[in-house]
Structure 1
Amino acid sequence: MSPSSTPAKALTIRILGRDYPIACPDDEREALLNSAEYLSTRMDAIQRGGKALGNERIAIMAALNITRELLDLQAQQAGTPTTTAPEVEQRLADLQRMIEATMASGDEPPSR
């Protein structure tokens, strides 16, 4: 939110059936509602994936997927094909596999 934004007012968003009150300026309300709907849709798709996951793990998976999309879009806008960043792609793939393996086993992720 920029300093010139209008004063924040309470707005309740719903993600995976849970309500979250968020302070949001009127001029950013529509963007926040769209973001919340997108996030909830992505999290719902992960939840329907068949694995019994907690909301925190679902949120992490959704965040990783959305971040990957963002990085791909930024690379495209910069005119850099996403394949020119193999280290980043490999790291994201490794993280994805590690998270999925941890979720499948029900264990906590290994500490670094």
Structure 2
Amino acid sequence: MKQDVMGTAGAAPGYAAPVQWAPWLQRGLGGRHRRPRRTVVQMIKGMPPFPRRTLKYRGPGMPIMYGSDVERWQRQMCKKGYTLNVDGWYGPRSSKVAKSLQRRTGLTDDGEIDAWTWAATWG
């Protein structure tokens, strides 16, 4: 047997590497192509994934949250019959609508859009 730079003996010439147990590792993709796991909350058909941040209005004088996730939520709330401007800003009116939805669905009415409130919006 030959020794490599580290002083360890190399493998025998007839030795074959074991078959990998995961097919994505055999293809060299490292598992990145797999679909991310879906939680129970995300099983509702047609519901977009939760935006990974809790939408909340902190009060006057504090920064207001803005983004396409807020706009998407506002559009869905308008489809459900709530009166709300779809502008992408999560302000006092959006918080009030969220509290109303949370009361109707039996959630804690804190006005924050977490994963459960997000699911109740599409449910």
TM-score by length of structure 2 reads 0.21
Quick check: which has more Rg, 1 or 2?
2
Which protein is richer in strand relative to its size? Answer: 1
Greater relative contact order: 1 or 2 (C-alpha under 8 angstroms, separation 6 or more)?
2
